[in-house]
Chains A and B, each alone.
Chain A
Amino acid sequence: MQKEYKTLQSISGPLILVEGVEGIKFEELVEMALPNGDKRMGKVLEVNRDTALVQMFENPRGISTEGTKAKFLGKPLEIGVSPDMLGRIFSGSGKPIDGGAEIIPEEKLNINGAPINPYSRDFPNDFYQTGISTIDCLNTLVRGQKLPIFSGAGLPHSQVAAQIARQCKVVGEESNTAVIFGAMGVTFEEAEYFTNEFKKTGAINRSVMFINTAADPVVERIATPRLALTTAEYLAFEKGMHVLVILTDLTNYCEALREVSAARKEVPGRRGYPGYLYTDLATLYERAGRIKGKKGSITQIPILTMPEDDITHPIPDLTGYITEGQIVLSRELHREGIYPPVNVLPSLSRLSPTARKITREDHEGVFGQMYASFARGLEVRDLAVILGESALSDIDLQYLKFAKDFEDRFITQDEYDDRTIEDTLNLAWDMMAALPKNELKRVKDEHIEKYLPKK
Chain B
Amino acid sequence: MEKGIITKVSGPLVIANGMKDAKMYEVVRVSDEKLMGEIIELNDDEASIQVYEETGGIGPGDPVYRTGETMTVELGPGLLTSIYDGIQRPLKLIEEKAGPYITRGIDVPGLDYEKAWEFKPTASKGDKVVAGDILGGVQETTLIEHKIMVPPHVKSGEIEEIKSGSFKLEDVVAVIKDEEGKSHDITLVQRWSIREPRLVAKKNIPTTPMVTGTRILDTMFPIAKGGAGCIPGPFGAGKTVTQQSLAKYCDAQVIVYIGCGERGNEMTEVLQEFPELKDPNTGEPLMKRTILIANTSNMPVAAREASVYTGITIAEYYRDMGYNVALMADSTSRWAEALREMSGRLEEMPGEEGYPAYLGSKTAEFYERAGNVVCLGSDKRNGSVTVIGAVSPPGGDLSEPVTQNTLRVTKVFWGLDAKLAYKRHFPAINWLSSYSLYLDNVKDYWKKEVNEDFGKIRGEAMGLLQQESSLEEIVRLVGLDALSPRERLVLEVAKSLREDFLFQNAFDKEDAFTPLKKQYLILKMIMTVYYETLPLITKEGFSFDDFKALPVMEKVVKAKEIPKEELEKYEDLEKDIIKSIQEYGAKFQAAEAA
In the complex, the answer to whether A119 meets B337 with C-beta atoms within 8 Å is no
Convert A43-87 into 0s and 1s, putting 1 for each residue whose CB lies closer than 8 angstroms to a CB of B.
001111110000000000000000000000000100000000000
Which of A283, A286, A371 has the most B CB atoms < 10 Å from its CB? A286
Indicate if the CB atoms of B95 and A117 lie closer than 8 Å.
yes
Q: Are B10 and A114 in contact (CB under 8 A)?
A: no
Q: Is the CB of A118 within 8 A of B499?
A: no
How far apart sit A116 and B56, CA to CA, in the bound complex (Å)?
A: 17
Cβ contacts under 8 Å, B476 to chain A? 383, 386
Q: Evaluate contact between B235 and A321: CB separation under 8 angstroms.
A: yes
Complex-state Cα separation, A67 to B390, whole angstroms? 54
The chain B residues found within 8 Å of chain A, CB to CB, are 7-11, 54-61, 83, 91-92, 94-95, 98-103, 234-236, 259, 261, 263-265, 267-269, 271-272, 294, 296-299, 301, 334, 337, 340-341, 344, 350, 353-354, 392, 394-397, 418, 421-424, 475-481, 499, 505, 507, 554, 557
The minimal Cβ–Cβ distance linking A133 to chain B, given in whole angstroms, is: 17
The B-contacting residues of A in range 130-163, CB under 8 angstroms, are 144-145
Say whether A26 contacts B58, CB under 8 Å: yes
Nearest-neighbour CB distance to chain A for B104, whole angstroms, equals 8
How far does the Cβ of B41 sit from chain A's closest Cβ, in whole Å? 16
- Cβ-closest chain A residue relative to B508: A364
Bound-state Cα–Cα, A241 to B341, Å: 37
List A1-53 residues whose CB lies under 8 Å from chain B.
22-28, 45-50
Partner of B101, one of A117, A372, A383: A117
Question: Which residues on the A side are within 8 Å of B554 (C-beta)?
Answer: 438
CB-CB under 8 A from A314, the residues of chain B are 394
Partner among A45, A268, A312 whose Cβ is within 8 Å of the Cβ of B394: A312
Are A267's CB and B344's CB within 8 A?
Answer: yes
A302 CB–B CB distance under 8 Å = no
Q: Contact residue range for chain A?
A: 35 or more
Residues of A within 8 A of B8 (CB): 46-49
Complex Cα–Cα for A322 and B58 (A): 29
- A368-404: CB near B (< 8 Å → 1, else 0) gives 1001100100000001001100010100000000000
Output the nearest chain B residue to A345 by Cβ-Cβ distance. Answer: B422
| Contact B9–A46 (Cβ < 8 Å) | yes
Asked if A26 and B55 sit within 8 Å, CB to CB, the answer is yes
> Which of B100, B263, B475 interacts with A120 by CB under 8 Å?
B100
Contact of A278 among B7, B269, B334 (CB under 8 A): B334
Q: Which of A28, A120, A438 has the most CB of B within 10 A?
A: A120
Contacts of B395 in A (CB 8 A): 311-313, 317
Q: Of residues B95, B98, B424, B505, which shows the largest number of chain A Cβ atoms within 10 Å of its Cβ? A: B424
CB-CB under 8 A for A121 and B479, given A116-B102, A279-B297, A317-B395: no
Which of B235, B267, B395, B421 counts the most A-chain CB atoms under 10 A from its CB?
Answer: B235
Q: What is the distance, in angstroms, from A123's C-beta to the closest C-beta of chain B?
A: 5
| Pair A25/B56 contact, Cβ less than 8 Å | yes
* Sampled A-B contacts (13; CB under 8 Å): A25-B9, A114-B101, A118-B264, A119-B83, A122-B268, A276-B341, A279-B337, A282-B296, A285-B297, A317-B235, A321-B392, A346-B418, A375-B424
Q: Which of these, A117, A124, A311, A317, contacts B91 with CB under 8 Å?
A: A117
Stretch at the interface among A199-207, A208-216, A288-296, A416-424: A288-296
Residues of A within 8 A of B337 (CB): 275-276, 278-279
- How far apart sit A34 and B320, CA to CA, in the bound complex (Å)? 66
A25-B56, A49-B8, A441-B499 known; A346 and B236 CB under 8 Å? yes
Q: Does A353 contact B (CB under 8 A)?
A: yes
**CA of A371 to CA of B264, assembled, Å:** 28
A115 within 8 A of B: yes
A311 to B588, CA, bound (A): 53
Interface string of A247-260 (1 = CB under 8 A from B): 00000000000000
Bound-state Cα–Cα, A375 to B557, Å: 20
Instruction: Tell me which residues across on chain B come within 8 A of A116, comparing CB atoms.
Output: 100-102, 264, 298
What B residues does A287 contact at CB under 8 A? 298
Question: With A113-B101, A348-B236 given, is the CB distance from A118 to B354 under 8 Å?
Answer: no
Q: How far is the CA of A76 from the CA of B59 in the complex (A)?
A: 13
Give Cα distance in the complex from A27 to B263, angstroms.
Answer: 25
Using Cβ atoms and an 8 Å threshold, which residues of chain A touch B267? 118, 121
**CB proximity of B251 to chain A, nearest CB, Å:** 24
- Mask of A308-325 contacts with B, CB within 8 angstroms, 1/0: 000111100110111011
CB pair B424–A368 under 8 Å, yes or no, is yes
**Which of B271, B418, B479 contacts A387 (CB under 8 A)?**
B479
Q: Kindly state whether residue A269 has any CB partner on chain B within 8 Å.
A: yes
Closest 4 CB pairs of A and B: A312-B395, A282-B297, A27-B56, A119-B91
Query: Considering only CB atoms, which chain A residue lies closest to B8 in the complex?
Result: A48
Given A47-B9, A282-B297, A294-B100, 12 new contacts (CB under 8 A): A26-B11, A46-B10, A76-B56, A114-B103, A269-B354, A276-B337, A278-B261, A282-B261, A282-B298, A320-B235, A324-B263, A386-B477
Q: Find chain A residues with CB under 8 A from B392 CB.
A: 321
Contact partner, A114, options B102, B353, B354, Cβ 8 Å: B102
Residue numbers in B under 8 Å from A318 (CB-CB): 394
| Chain B min CB distance to A122 (Å) | 7
Chain B nearest Cβ from A53, distance in angstroms: 9
Residues of B within 8 A of A391 (CB): 479, 481
Complex Cα distance, B426 from A375, in Å, reads 14
A195 part of interface (Cβ distance < 8 Å): no
Q: Are A117 and B60 in contact (CB under 8 A)?
A: no
Q: Is the CB of A268 within 8 A of B354?
A: yes
Shortest B481–chain A CB gap in Å is 8
The listed residue with most B CB atoms (<10 A of its CB), out of A118, A120, A441, is A118
Q: How far is the CB of A248 from chain B (nearest CB, A)?
A: 21
**Do A26 and B57 touch (CB < 8 A)?**
yes
Name the B residues within 8 Å of A286 (CB-CB). Answer: 263-264, 296-298
Of all chain B residues, the one with the shortest Cβ separation from A121 is B268
Question: A305 contacts the other chain (Cβ, under 8 Å)?
Answer: no
Task: Please name the residue on chain A nearest to B17 by beta carbon.
Answer: A49
CA distance A135 to B149 in the complex (A): 55
Give Cα A322–Cα B265 distance, bound, in whole angstroms. 10
Chain B residues closer than 8 Å to A113, beta-carbon distance: 101
Does chain B have a CB within 8 A of A270? yes
Determine the residue in chain B with the shortest Cβ distance to A268.
Answer: B354
| Residue A326 at the chain B interface, CB threshold 8 Å | yes
> Is B60's CB under 8 angstroms from A47's CB?
yes
Contact A345 B423, CB 8 Å, known A117-B91, A118-B91, A286-B263: yes
Can you name the residue of chain B whose Cβ is closest to the Cβ of A237? Answer: B100
Residue of B nearest to A270 (CB): B394
Q: Is the CB of A289 within 8 A of B264?
A: yes
Indicate whether A371 sits within 8 Å of B423 (C-beta atoms), given known contacts A120-B100, A351-B265: yes
Q: Which of A24, A26, A267 touches B56 (beta carbons < 8 Å)?
A: A26
Q: In the complex, what residues of A have CB within 8 A of residue B557's CB?
A: 441
A256 to chain B, nearest CB (A): 18
Across the interface, do A276 and B301 meet the contact criterion of CB distance under 8 Å? yes
Residue of A nearest to B15 (CB): A48
**B394 neighbours in A (Cβ, 8 Å):** 270, 312, 314, 317-318
Inter-chain contact B424/A371, CB cutoff 8 Å: yes
Once the chains are docked, how many angstroms separate the CA of A441 from the CA of B11? 54
Find the residue from A46, A269, A364 having the highest chain B CB count within 10 A: A269
CA distance A372 to B55 in the complex (A): 49
Known contacts being A48-B7, A322-B263, is A279 close to B57, with CB within 8 Å? no
- Can you name the residue of chain B whose Cβ is closest to the Cβ of A394? B545
